[in-house]
Amino acid sequence: NKYVGDFIKQEVDNFLHKNADIAEVIQQKIQESEKERKAIAGVTKLARERAKKANLHNRKLRDCRIHLNDPKGKGLEEDSCIFITEGDSASGSITKSRDVNTQAVFSLRGKPLNSFGLTKKVVYENEEFNLLQAALNIEDGLDGLRYNKVIVATDADVDGMHIRLLLITFFLQFFPDLIKKGHVYILQTPLFRVRNKKKTIYCYSEDERVNAINELSPNPEITRFKGLGEISPDEFKHFIGKDMRLEQVSLRKTDAVKELLEFYMGKNTMERQNFIIDNLVIEEDLAS
C-alpha cells in the first residue's frame, strides 16, 4: 500500500544520504545506461533488419540442426555448440569434420575489434559483432541462446591468443552472463603429432611430446602443427568429438569485470608492462 511504499522510499533516501559513495556509483550507472540507450536507439532497428537479411545468406555461419532449448532436440540440446574460428582455412577443416546435428561454425575475418570501453552501439554498427550476436540469439538476454557451448577455436600462437582475448573482452563487455553461467570455452588442439608405423600420438604440450618420443622411439616422425588450417579434416574429427579438450572461461566471485578489462585491454600502463615482463616465457623453437 501507499504507506509501505512511502516508508521504503524514505528508508532508501536515508541510506543514500548516509552513503554518498554508493549513491554516486548508482547515479553513474543510471547515467551510463541512459547514454547507452540513446546511443543505440537509432541503430537497432536497421541493424536487426540487416542481421535478418544477412543470416539468410551468411557464408560465415555453418549452422547445425539441433539447438539449445530445441523442443525436438531428442536429448541432444546440451551437446549443441558453435565454434568461433579465425579465417576460412580453419573453419573449413572444422566444417568438414563436425557433427552437423549439434556443431555449428562461425568464421571470423581476422582479428575482431577491441570493444573495451565502447558502448553497445558498436555491437549493432560492427557487422561481425552484429552477426555473431544474431547467430547466438543473445540480443535480449540468454533465454534465447541457441548453443550450450560457445567455443573459441583459434591457433595457439600470438595472433590466436590475441583473438581469444578480444572475443572474451567482447563477451565480458556486453554479455557477461554468457561467461558467468559457463557457456564460453577455449578449444585445445594438439601442437604436435608423433608417430611411427604402428602408432600415432597427438600431443598438447611439450611434456606430452617428450613422453610420446620416448614411447615411440627410436626415431619417430614428429610434426608440429603451426595452425588449425594445417590439420586435415580426417584428423580434426578426433579433436572435436566427445573427448575434445575444452578449457572453460570462468570468473571468480571476487573478479571485478571492469577492473579486469581495464588492466588487460585498456591503455598500456606501466603496471601491465611490468606484469608482462615478469611473466614472459621465452620458448625454444620446438620445431627444431
Can you say whether the dihedral through the CA atoms of 238, 244, 245, 247 is positive or negative? positive
Q: Give a yes or no: residue 2 inside a domain.
A: no
The domain total for the chain is 2
Specify whether 39 is located in the same domain as 155. Answer: yes
**Would you call 49 helix, strand, or coil by DSSP?**
helix
Q: What is the rounded CA–CA span in Å between residue 41 and residue 25? A: 24
User: Which residue matches cell numbers 600431443?
Assistant: 203
Give pLDDT, residue 288: 37
DSSP 227: S
**Element (H or E) spanning 131, and its range?**
helix 127-136
Among candidate residues 191, 123, 132, 186, the one with its CA nearest the CA of residue 157: 191
Q: Give a yes or no: residue 214 inside a domain.
A: yes
Specify whether 122 is located in the same domain as 257. Answer: yes
Specify whether 141 is located in the same domain as 235. Answer: yes
Give pLDDT, residue 139: 86
Tens of pLDDT along the chain (288 residues) come to 566 667 677 777 787 778 878 877 777 777 676 666 666 665 666 666 655 555 545 667 899 999 998 998 889 999 999 999 987 777 888 999 999 999 999 999 888 999 988 888 888 888 889 889 989 999 888 999 999 999 999 988 888 888 999 999 999 999 999 999 999 999 998 999 999 999 999 999 999 999 999 999 999 999 998 888 888 889 899 899 888 999 999 987 767 777 778 777 877 667 766 766 676 554 434 333
Give pLDDT, residue 287: 38
Express each pLDDT in 115-166 by its tens digit: 988 888 888 888 889 889 989 999 888 999 999 999 999 988 888 888 999 9
Specify whether 207 is located in the same domain as 140. Answer: no
Q: How far does the chain reach from its first CA to its final CA, in angstroms?
A: 78
Among candidate residues 73, 76, 80, the one with its CA nearest the CA of residue 105: 80
Cα angle value 265/116/273 (rounded, 5°): 15
155 is catalytic: yes
86 is catalytic: yes
* Domain residue limits at 180: 32-188+230-278
- The answer to whether 220 and 158 have CB atoms below 8 angstroms apart is no
Q: Which of 6, 11, 32, 157 is catalytic?
A: 157
User: pTM for this one?
Assistant: 0.78
Give pLDDT, residue 285: 41
Q: Which of 11, 34, 78, 159 is catalytic?
A: 159
Give pLDDT, residue 97: 93
Residue 106's CB is within 10 A of a number of other CB atoms, namely 23
Question: What are the backbone angles phi and psi of residue 221, rounded to the nearest 5°?
Answer: -80, 130
Specify whether 66 is located in the same domain as 148. Answer: yes
Give pLDDT, residue 258: 79
Q: What is the rounded CA–CA span in Å between residue 131 and residue 51? A: 6
Dmax (CA) for the chain in angstroms is 86
